[in-house]
Amino acid sequence: MSTPVADPARSGRRNRWSGRWIDDWRPEDPAFWHTTGKRTARRNLIWSVIVEHFGFSVWVMWSILVVKMGANAGGGPGPAGFSLTVDQQLWLVAVPSGVGAFLRLPYTFAVPLLGGRNWTVLSALLLIIPCGVMMWAVQHPELPFGVLLAIAAVAGVGGGNFASSMTNISFFYPEKEKGWALGLNAAGGNLGVAVVQKVGAVMIAAGTGAALARIGLIYIPLAIISAVGALLFMDNLAEAKADFGSTASAARRGQTWIMSFLYIGTFGSFIGYSSAFPALLKNPALFNRPDVALSYGFLGALVGSVARPLGGRLGDRIGGAKVTVASFVVMMLAGLGAVASIGPKGKILDEPNFGLFFASFMLLFLASGIGNGSTYRMIPAIFARRGQENGGDPETMRRARREATGAIGICSAVGAFGGFLVPIIYAESNKAYGTIAPALWVYVGLFVVMAVVTWWCYLRRGSIEIEAAPASVRTLATTSG
């Protein structure tokens, strides 16, 4: 529903940016919600999920492109005309992740500044740029690697979409339904990783530069369709305001940075492993299975995406910290399985075992997806506990919820940098030692550290009692990156 402009302060913003604005938005009013609000919120959620889904797909599209851009067995150009080393391929999937992580904070504030509908339209249209420059680049194998790297970096705009999408939808839903809505929004975005890796693999099966460009031919029209859909069916909320103060306040809390560190281990692992997995499957120094990379490389991202809501649900039932510790323990064991699978270079088994390698990574994806949901379940509970300790009155709890929202934005951005670090550590390990075994040992060590940090801060006697936080304040518990 759109109403005439009532607030002069808002009028200037409307005249500048135009669009469908809603002045009267009362999701906490049951009568308003059931007669008008729910239907409008659902319509905005649907198109938000669509745009975010395509954003994730564009963000990680280079993870499937590089499978066909590597050198042949003799080090010369492969079928697509490129001769990239494994290290270069991993850099091409890492840099978009880093750019996407960096963009998440400014994207968070774009919605309150420009309007959710307006920014969703613009962010969808921005996806055309990385697709267009990619289509040109993959048909020019003579391009220097630095130019390829810069072109791949542009895909990072797709990673920023998550932050703006989640911010926008959080304004539409009442507190009791935010967890479900944001969880659905996040899951829809995460699935974009698996979809592009499967669809992209089918489209580039021919192996030439022209075939690689087909991914752009898919996603440019989809970006335009999603932008038109957002333009026609989404709304701007006048009450959405940029809350720089709460974000700044959250940044001063040590708990924000502890959770950001843990989120690197969960979401950072998910997006980092998703990006690197197809390249690892094709790596000649490992199992050299490009057939598996193209046919089944998407399964890791699919498993991690589907497991995310399970982590939130388990966290609600038995405690987010307990589930997070368990996730890190399983990730550690899966990492040891991956080390063992590569045979003598891993110094555990005498012979390589591809089945163990693939199964270990599926377990890593499963545990990272579950941890993804459980860590985000912890954040609002931590700040709710802080609010209770400071008196628990309505105003204090309101500030606590706003700080939790700011903390989630920070954790989302910091955690996404794991998507940059994971492929880079693989690349440097492969370059220095000719094997990814040292990188896997680094990950195993980090998972041990993260499990200990989680236990020390949130489970040991005398730590923060976040598991006792009332369910009514866990409104963002099921969201994810």
Token representation of residue 321: 């910290």
166, containing H or E segment: helix 157-172
Based on the number of CB atoms within 10 Å of its own CB, is 462 exposed (0-12), middle (13-18) or buried (19 or more)? exposed
Point out which residues pair with 22 in neighbouring strands: 237
Cα separation, 259 vs 386, in Å, equals 15
Indicate the DSSP class of residue 173: S
The model's pTM is 0.81
Each of the 481 residues of the chain gets a pLDDT tens digit; together they read 444 444 444 444 444 444 588 888 888 889 999 998 899 999 999 999 999 999 999 999 998 898 888 877 777 887 778 889 888 999 999 999 999 989 988 888 888 888 889 999 999 999 999 999 999 999 899 999 999 999 999 999 998 888 888 878 888 888 677 767 777 888 888 889 889 988 888 877 755 556 888 888 899 999 999 999 999 999 998 877 766 777 888 888 888 999 999 999 998 888 888 888 888 888 777 888 888 887 888 888 899 888 887 887 787 788 888 999 999 999 999 999 999 998 877 777 778 899 999 999 999 999 998 998 888 778 877 887 877 777 777 777 777 777 877 787 788 888 888 888 988 998 888 888 888 889 999 999 999 999 999 999 888 876 665 554 444 444 444 444 5
What does the pLDDT read at residue 184?
Answer: 80
Q: How far is CA 72 from CA 80, 205, 278, 290, 357, in A?
A: 10, 16, 16, 12, 23
**In the block, which residue shows the tokens 């590597």?**
70
pLDDT of residue 250: 83
Q: Which two tokens stand for residue 318?
A: 């038995």
> What value does the CA radius of gyration of the chain take, rounded to a whole number of Å?
22
Query: 235 by DSSP, 3-state: which?
Result: coil
Domains and CATH numbers, the chain: 1-242 (1.20.1250.20), 245-481 (1.20.1250.20)
